[in-house]
Structure 1
């Protein structure tokens, strides 16, 4: 097997679907939410107050700073899926074009990167989560089975003169460094 998807063991009996392409020429495999999930709107979390403070370079208390950071902390929607691929491949997670328009959902860093060594890691078995923020005016309910993103397998290149990394992945989501 060269590349593909599997359901993680904790979702084995929960009717989770492996990602799929919806048309013959689609590059992306659609990922579905493994659960019902509510993504709160950033607007109800005092986002305008934070923007005002930033714009006017006002000092904010430590408590307000903590709240401000929490407003823009992405939510992780579980997919119940893991991906395997070749050592020189990566799975890029991208938003669906309908998500910002219909749901107000965006991927905060634009894309997600799933490395080949994320598969079957000790922390979470390599489960893929879609990171999202809700810029819509109201909370968004994502139902189990709703398509929430897409994944595209790609080959990548390395530099001729790179110093070969010696570190092995030891964990799950975000474990390769800050």
Structure 2
């Protein structure tokens, strides 16, 4: 029985999706590629500057300002077309490529992504992995299909003493765990 690895999400099997690979013999991370061309717009293109000025000048923001900002100042999900399987006591950690922030202004806003073992083949999206990204550079960045955008590292994890574990089954896909 396979221990851990990657598969192409069924609906993208014939679309030239690239499975993650390590690029060197001692690389820890498996490089994930974009499943399609994707434009990451610069946050500076939106009314970010207007909002920044209002905040800087201590102007009260209206509910309309907050609503508008929450629609545009958020990460975008870059699709990979890939899912990962692993053992129940393992996790796949998604990290940025070191060149993304320095050369392109692209960041993963939460620092890392966590892919749990039960994300694989979930009902909502079959476990497709998306990489959250924000473009801090002044220009839009075009990510091309097959371009490396992030990396994943399989890791075991430990449980705390006395952890009985929540026996609730995953009911959704990306960001589905809610309290």
Shorter-chain TM-score: which interval? over 0.9
Partner of 1:84 in structure 2? 85
Shift of 1:56: 4.1
Q: Which moved more, 1:58-67 or 1:31-40?
A: 58-67
Partner of 2:119 in structure 1? 118
- Quick one: distance in 2 between partners of 1:89 and 1:55? 45
Is the contact between residue 87 and residue 117 of structure 2 (CA under 8 Å) also seen in structure 1? yes
1:8 paired to 2:9 = yes
Partner of 1:107 in structure 2? 108
1:1-178 pair list within 5 angstroms: 1-177=2-178
Shift of 1:15: 0.7
Regions of 4+ moved over 6 Å: none
* TM-score scaled by length of structure 1: 0.96
The CA RMSD over aligned residues, in Å, is 1.2
Q: Which moved more, 1:159-168 or 1:13-22?
A: 159-168
> Which segments of 5 or more consecutive residues in structure 2 lack a partner in the other structure?
none
Q: Secondary structure at the residue paired with 2:150?
A: strand
- Quick one: distance in 2 between partners of 1:56 and 1:86? 52
Q: Count the aligned residue pairs.
A: 178
- Quick one: distance in 2 between partners of 1:32 and 1:167? 32
Shift of 1:52: 3.1
- Quick one: distance in 2 between partners of 1:127 and 1:72? 24
Q: Secondary structure at the residue paired with 1:76?
A: strand
